[in-house]
Structure formats: structure tokens, C-alpha cells
Structure 1
Amino acid sequence: MNWGTGIVLTIIGFVALIMTMVVISVRMDGIELVTENYYEEEIKYQDRIDDSNSAMQLDREVISYNSQSKVIELDLPNGTIGSLQLFRPSDSSLDQKIKVEVTHTGKTEVSLDQLKTGYWKVQLNWSENGVDRYQEKKITI
């Protein structure tokens, strides 16, 4: 075999490799955006930063996770209304949104027994004393 044949075979092999990679990437399922309304959420991001800063000013940990009993404990005052989003980055079909209404004093418990094991983001939005707040915690079940 001479040099010309080797170069031609190398180029053909390279093109075949690239074409195979393109076909595989086009046929892939499960490539999802983090959120459906990505651009709208990006515009509202400064509000989330402000809400997060107001939550940091509290002198308590609002979200705590007990890995033994698979329970999230929310330290919110009586009368608080908010929403708890359980976000699974690897599979958006497992995401859940739970409405939170605190009608008693003490900690509110949310059971996570039904969730699939793995990495989760817990995002809590609530209003306390007329101030909107946001806190996020990353957990592994």
C-alpha cells in the first residue's frame, strides 16, 4: 500500500466516524431543557436573587433534610403559604410541585418516600410577613 491509499482510507474513516456520531446525537432521546420557559425564567432571575437574599437574612435554616426518614422539614411560621418544587435535573418527568400551607406552629414535614433515589434540588418559594423569599437545597435520596 502506498501513501496515497493510506491518506484516502484515513479520510474515509474519519468521515465515517463523524457521520456515525452525528446520527447517534440526532437520534438521542432525553435531551431536555431545564425548564420549558427558559427565557422568561432568565428575565425573572433577579427577583429570585432578591428573594434568596431576604431568606438568608433569617436566623434559621428553613429547609432541612433527614436522610434516615426521607423527610424534608420546613421551618416556617404559622399562616405561611408557598410552593415546594422537587426538581430532578436528569429527568423532568419526575419533577413535582407541592403547595405548602402552614396551619400550625413548629416544623412542617414533607415525606419523600415516593421519590426515585438520586440527586434532587428542593426549591421553596414562600411569603413571610409580606416579604417574598426563596431557598434552594440540593439533596441525594
Structure 2
Amino acid sequence: MKINWGTGIVLALIGFISFIMYFIITMSTNDKYNHDLVVEDYYQKELEFEADINKEKNALALKENIVYNKTPEGVVITFPSNLDPKNITGKVFLYRPSNKQFDFEVPISLSNHNLLIPDNRLLDGRWNIKVDWQYNNTSYLYKKEMSY
């Protein structure tokens, strides 16, 4: 059987379209290729963006900002020493970009200027740390990327 050039082009197009459709179906149905959003409530977070910018400006206006240090016990978050730790409230959110199942939140409860996040909660790799805190009715925000 002899195939002319028109039939060859049609067969090549059908083969190419089949190849592309196979990958589209595989990527959309296979659980191995998980397509999670960065956050579930994306649009709500976008509406809070302006408030976060104001909180970050408040944090930059402080004499000293939050500092974090990695220790064998975990991560120690140190709040400014010129503030009374009993009046500091808020939460620390640790976000794991590679897997949202490891994300967790810790409420801020201080007796001194340090907050310890235990080593057993942190896996090796990249983490985004977000400290949303208040002191004397003023809100502050500290965001950093860290490798653990």
C-alpha cells in the first residue's frame, strides 16, 4: 500500500494530537501530579494584601525587628527587646511550599522575648515564616524564607 503526502500529513497530525491529549489526560487525572493552589482562599488573601503592607511598614519602623535563629532545639524567634513580652500577641505561621500538609500555626505566648518552634515540627528544606503580631493595638508583620 502506497501512502501519499496528504495521507502522511493527516496521520502525523492525528499522531501528534493523540500524543498531546494523552499527556493532558495523564496530568489532570494522576494523583502523582498534584496541582494545589498556594493557598486555598487565594482571593481572600489578595483582599488582605494592603493591610499586610501596612503591617510590614509598621514593623520596619521599629528600632529593632524580629530575628530568628536556628538552634539544635528548633527555631528561636526573638522579639524586640524594648517591648514588654506580656503585651505581644499574635500567631506564627510556617508554610511549606512543597507540601501544604506540613503547614502549621503557633500562637504567640511569651514569658520572655523568645519563642521556640520545636525541631520535631520542622522538616529539612525550605519554609516560609510569617509572624503576624500585635503590640499595644498596633499590628506588625514579619515574613522571611528560611532553609532548615
RMSD: 1.9
Alignment of 1:1-141 (within 5 A): 1-29=3-31, 30-66=34-70, 70-76=74-80, 77=83, 78-79=85-86, 80-104=88-112, 106-141=113-148
CA distance in 2, matches of 1:137, 1:65: 12
CA distance in 2, matches of 1:67, 1:103: 19
- Secondary structure of 1:101's partner? coil
Indicate the percent of aligned positions where both proteins have the same amino acid: 26
- Secondary structure of 1:49's partner? helix
Task: Tell me the CA shift for residue 67 of structure 1.
Answer: 6.1
Q: TM-score, normalised by structure 2?
A: 0.83
Unaligned runs of 5+ in 1: none
Larger radius of gyration: 2
Q: TM-score, normalised by structure 1?
A: 0.87
CA distance in 1, matches of 2:77, 2:42: 29
Superposed CA deviations along residues 39-80 of structure 1, whole A, max 9, x for unmatched, are: 111111100110011011112230323266542322244111
Q: Would you say how many aligned residue pairs link Structure 1 and Structure 2?
A: 140
Task: Tell me the CA shift for residue 109 of structure 1.
Answer: 2.6
Task: Tell me the CA shift for residue 22 of structure 1.
Answer: 1.4
Unaligned runs of 5+ in 2: none
- Greater Cα offset, 24-33 or 8-17: 24-33
